[in-house]
Amino acid sequence: MKLSEDLIEVSVIGGYLGAGKTTLVNHILREASERVAVMVNDFGEINIDETLIDSSNENTISLTNGCICCSLVDGFAAALESVLSLLPRPTRLVIEASGVADPSAIAAHGHSPGLALDAVVVVVDSVRLIEQIADPLIGQTVASQIRAADVIVINKIDLCDTLASVNVELSELNPNALLVYANKAKADLDLLFGREILRTASAAGHMGKFESRTHESAQPILRENLETLIENLPSNIQRVKGIVRLAEAPRIPMVFQLVGRSWELRALADRGKSPEGNRLVVIGPKGSIPIGWDNFLS
């Protein structure tokens, strides 16, 4: 779902060198169904079919599907400024972190005015993960990235014959993250981005694996009711997100994000950019969302 017309949702893509971050960015650009701006370290790694390039200059490439690539060559602040000045505005900003970066430091910028952080997505190489975690030089870097993740994309699973140990390792490092399995980083973008699943897209896109339901209401809600709703969600629900107004501070739009097993409620930096009322979308495996999942809110 779109949180609001004027807001740019931010997804940060982290992960160690070679995990498949750039492959995921390429996948996002190919499959984009919205106007996505990506910030990347290196244009040379972005694999764009020449026929899809609308125009390009030194620091940006515009694609015919409306997406834009921005280079981080002049630094993060300059790149962010150029994304915020794009017209029409992108609906989503995907930031590729460097291979050694702590993605949460970049995600902190996702709460700046005009932006709303969606999730920190960390890509791991399932074939090399166990060895990387044990490596005295890079083990801590890889582990810190995994701990910072809301979503972990477990990549290269068709090449991995130790997936069970990978799962154990990941659940020890970060028991709360949403795990998404992929080959060639072709992760499900509805899960990654927490998008409402339209019936047609669902049938075509994921053979009906996931579904979503939406809650809309006008009156500010009680925090305790929201907490009750979370406690009563089926355990296989993957995401819940939206903007709500709490009875204790009805003028402040609050962004709600549940990813995997952790959730967060944080004010929106740009208070003017959200419609009144509450809107939440829940995403889970097909058949997992009970009718009346949102009864606690009314």
Partner 1 sequence: MSDAKVTIFTGKKIITMNPAVPVAQAIAVQGDRILGVGTVEDLAQWGDYELDEQFEDYVLMPGFVEAHSHVMAGAVWEFPYVGFYDRPDPLGHTWSGCQTIAAVVDRLAECERELKDPNQTLVAWGLDPIFLDGERLVAKHLDQISATRPIFVFHASGHLATVNSAMMDRSSIDRYTPTPGVARDTDGEPNGELQEPAAMSLAQDGLSAIGVAMMSSNAKWNYAREARNCGVTTIADLGTTRLTMEGQLEAWHEATSHDDYPARVVVAVGHSDSNLNKKNSNPIVSLAVRLRDEEETAKLRFGIVKLVLDGSIQGFTARISWPHYVNPPPGHPGNGLWLIPPEQLADIVSGYHEAGLTVHCHCNGDEATQVFIDAVDLALQRHPRWDHRHTVQHSQMTTTAQYKKMASLGINANIFSNHIFHWGDQHAAVTIGEERAARMDACATAEREGVVFSVHSDAPITPMSQLHTAWSAVNRLTASGRVLGPEERISVAKALEACTLGAAHQLKLDHDIGSLEAGKLADFAVLEKDPFEVSPKELKNIAVWGTVVGGTPHVASSK
The residues of the shown chain that bind partner 1, judged by CB under 8 A, are: 16-17, 41-45, 71-77, 98-100, 102, 104-105, 108-109, 111-113, 117, 137-138, 140-141, 143-144, 249, 252, 255, 266-269, 271
* Distance from C-alpha of 103 to C-alpha of 15, rounded to nearest angstrom: 8
For residues 160 and 127, is the Cβ–Cβ distance under 8 A?
Answer: yes
Give the list of residues 6+ apart from residue 59 with CB closer than 8 angstroms, or none.
70, 71, 73, 74, 79, 82
Is the Cβ of residue 138 or residue 157 nearer to partner 1 in the bound state? Answer: 138
The DSSP output letter for 288 is -
Task: In angstroms, give the least distance from the CB of 287 to partner 1.
Answer: 34
Q: What pairs with residue 9 in β-bridges?
A: 92, 116
Is the Cβ of residue 71 or residue 212 nearer to partner 1 in the bound state? Answer: 71
Amino acid (1-letter code) at residue 176: N
Task: In angstroms, give the least distance from the CB of 12 to partner 1.
Answer: 12
Task: In angstroms, give the least distance from the CB of 224 to partner 1.
Answer: 19
* Distance from C-alpha of 293 to C-alpha of 298, rounded to nearest angstrom: 11
Task: In angstroms, give the least distance from the CB of 140 to partner 1.
Answer: 5
Is the Cβ of residue 90 or residue 99 nearer to partner 1 in the bound state? Answer: 99
Cα 87 vs. chain centroid, distance in angstroms?
23
Task: In angstroms, give the least distance from the CB of 86 to partner 1.
Answer: 19
* Distance from C-alpha of 176 to C-alpha of 172, rounded to nearest angstrom: 10
* Distance from C-alpha of 71 to C-alpha of 171, rounded to nearest angstrom: 34
Amino acid (1-letter code) at residue 122: V
Task: In angstroms, give the least distance from the CB of 28 to partner 1.
Answer: 19
Token pair recorded at residue 135: 């490596």
Q: Which residue has the tokens 């994304």?
A: 83
Is the Cβ of residue 137 or residue 207 nearer to partner 1 in the bound state? Answer: 137
Is the Cβ of residue 92 or residue 213 nearer to partner 1 in the bound state? Answer: 92
Reduced DSSP (H G I as helix, E B as strand, rest coil) percent helix, strand, coil of the chain, to 5: 30, 30, 40
For residues 151 and 262, is the Cβ–Cβ distance under 8 A?
Answer: no
Is the Cβ of residue 81 or residue 161 nearer to partner 1 in the bound state? Answer: 81
For residues 110 and 117, is the Cβ–Cβ distance under 8 A?
Answer: yes
Is the Cβ of residue 97 or residue 189 nearer to partner 1 in the bound state? Answer: 97
Rounded to 5°, the CA angle 26-31-51 comes to 70
Is the Cβ of residue 137 or residue 291 nearer to partner 1 in the bound state? Answer: 137
Task: In angstroms, give the least distance from the CB of 232 to partner 1.
Answer: 26
